[in-house]
Amino acid sequence: MAVTKYTARAADYKTGKANLRRCFRDLIWLSLFWASGLVILFILLGILAYLLYRGGSSLTWEFITSAPAGFPLGTQGGVLPAIRGTFYLVLIAVAASAVPGIITAVYLAEQAGQTKFIGLLNLTIQCMAGVPSIITGLFGYSFFVLHLGFGISLLAGGLALGIMIFPVIVITARDALLAVNEQYRLAGTALGVSRWYILCKIIFPRATPAIISGLLLAMGYAAGATAPIMVTAAAISADSSGSLFEPVMALPYHLYILFSQHVSMSKAYGTALLLVILLLIINMAALWLRSIKKGA
């Protein structure tokens, strides 16, 4: 009996020691995760604080609602044509890539098996997402500007941005569809319901908030891109009237000109602050939609 009690106590001691080590290890990892998140948060707050300090005085209502003026252009006035141009570019990009991207995502998530072709398609989309934006811009320049004859224009820039955000839309929409509980598909199939009906009436409505969230993230990605529009759409000065075959101003390119040419550093920081605020609003809206989806 004494030997049995001793053995049991030794086993309990080893178990407790193992649990203590596991808890300590989990605490270390949890602390590292929290520390990483706090570092990222502090970096973001530091960037915002610096931009507010350097460009807060320039970010006025007149700055937002007036066109650039002065000599060199941009030393006075505001960025209204650049805001309009950015909006038009993003609108064309999403219009050109949203439907093909969502259809591709539906095919990958719902209609395709695990074949070599599907593996190759997934790999291609992942590689497209990793292509540098300047490469996309050069392709847009050679194909849309030169080959199709669109010239440096809103249409060429919007289509180039559409190519850039296409893999982002596909990946986010595919993941949103795959995140829907598989039990819905199995129950519908068991009841003899067509896969198309299950997709349209059950799967897609539950994935819609996350899909829209992915579209908003893609819009933010397109709004902040500079390289693709430098060679396909952007101009130093344009009225950004919305004409498809005319060049436009855009916030990222206008910021690049103000900063690289030392036109006006205060206006450059004001433009940067405005662009960051717009991107934060878009990303917050995307996160809000994701939270709706999780709460549903």
Reference 225, options 258, 246, 260, 251; nearest CA is 251
Across 6-28, average pLDDT: 68
Biggest CA–CA distance in the chain, Å, is: 97
All domains of the chain, ordered by start, with CATH? 61-295 (1.10.3720.10)
The reported pLDDT for the residue numbered 49 is 92
The reported pLDDT for the residue numbered 44 is 86
> How far apart, in whole angstroms, are the C-alpha atoms of residue 165 and residue 167?
6
The reported pLDDT for the residue numbered 126 is 87
Buried b (16+ CB within 10 A) or exposed e, 259-278: beeebbeebbbbbbbbbbeb
Digit-coded pLDDT (tens) for 42-79:
998 998 899 999 988 888 899 999 989 888 888 888 89
The reported pLDDT for the residue numbered 10 is 54
The percentage of residues in the chain with a pLDDT greater than 90, rounded to a whole number, is 38
Decide: 233 and 176 in contact? Cβ < 8 Å.
no
> How far apart, in whole angstroms, are the C-alpha atoms of residue 34 and residue 26?
12
What is the average pLDDT value for the chain, to the nearest integer?
86
| Span of 40-54, 87-101, 182-196 with lowest mean pLDDT | 182-196
Provide the pLDDT confidence category of residue 92 given band limits of 50, 70 and 90: very high
The reported pLDDT for the residue numbered 194 is 78
Query: Kind and range of the H or E element at 35?
Result: helix 2-55
Q: What is the pTM of this model?
A: 0.85
Query: Kind and range of the H or E element at 69?
Result: strand 68-69
